[in-house]
Amino acid sequence: MRLRALTAFTVLFLLLVALTPAARAATVGVSLSEQNGWGRMVFTFPEGIPGYRASINAGVLVLDFDKPFDANTEEFVRLMPRYVAMARQDENGKTIRLALT
């Protein structure tokens, strides 16, 4: 009985880890700066740049990548206050939305 419970717990744990986007998310380097009237964002992925799409709609810049990643969205507002009013990452870990100023 004890072995069966341990096996069930292990399987459940592995399923939760496999299904959690953060568990699959790559640690990505993000360099942010304001230079000479421009805002610059550089994303450095450990295994090369995945496919991505960028669009602006109603003053919101949407960056949608093919693979999930971790990003500190507070840094966008702190380091680029002239350009970014608010930033958030979707739950899927693949999309960042930046409200532009």
Query: Does residue 7 carry a pLDDT above 60?
Result: no
Task: Note every long-range contact of 16-21, with CB atoms under 8 Å and residues 24 or more positions apart, other chains counting.
Answer: 21/68, 21/91, 21/92, 21/93, 21/94
pLDDT band for position 23 (cuts 50, 70, 90)? very low
Domain extent listing, the chain: 2-100
Choose between 13 and 79: higher pLDDT: 79
Report the distance separating Cα 3 and Cα 42, nearest Å.
49
Give percent of the chain with pLDDT exceeding 90.
56
- pLDDT for position 1: 57
pLDDT band for position 11 (cuts 50, 70, 90)? very low
SS3 66: coil
Q: What is the pLDDT of residues 25-69, one digit of tens each?
A: 778 889 999 989 899 999 998 888 899 999 999 999 999 999 999
